[in-house]
Amino acid sequence: LAKTTQPISMDSYEGQEVNITCSHNNIATNDYITWYQQFPSQGPRFIIQGYKTKVTNEVASLFIPADRKSSTLSLPRVSLSDTAVYYCLVGAPMDSSYKLIFGSGTRLLVRP
């Protein structure tokens, strides 16, 4: 399984765009990149998933360069409610189990 590296914590202010970068140098051909969000005492929640280039949904954008060795989660105009831990995960969802291997994540604090 590809190891991921992301910042331990980030601070931002309401209304700003936040970009969280994740390194995954050993990503395999079949691996997808997935981001989850977790609030205290709640289960993780899927944000976005991609394989290459750019993916956008109503919540976030995911930028993946051509070599796929890193990815950037972009949260536009964050609010206080975006304060959470954000996890970057790399794995091959076609595996029969597709277990999610969580790292320590990035603790995002959004200030007023």
Partner 1 sequence: EPEVTQTPSHQVTQMGQEVILRCVPISNHLYFYWYRQILGQKVEFLVSFYNNEISEKSEIFDDQFSVERPDGSNFTLKIRSTKLEDSAMYFCASSLGGRDGTYEQYFGPGTRLTVT
Footprint on this chain of partner 1 (rule: CB under 8 A): 32, 34, 38, 41-46, 49, 87, 93-94, 96-105
Nearest distance in Å: CB 105, partner 1: 8
Region class of 68: left (phi > 0), else alpha (psi between -120 and 50), else beta: left
Smaller CB separation from partner 1, 65 or 93:
93
Q: How far is CA 8 from CA 51, 86, 105, in A?
A: 24, 10, 6
Nearest distance in Å: CB 80, partner 1: 21
Nearest distance in Å: CB 112, partner 1: 26
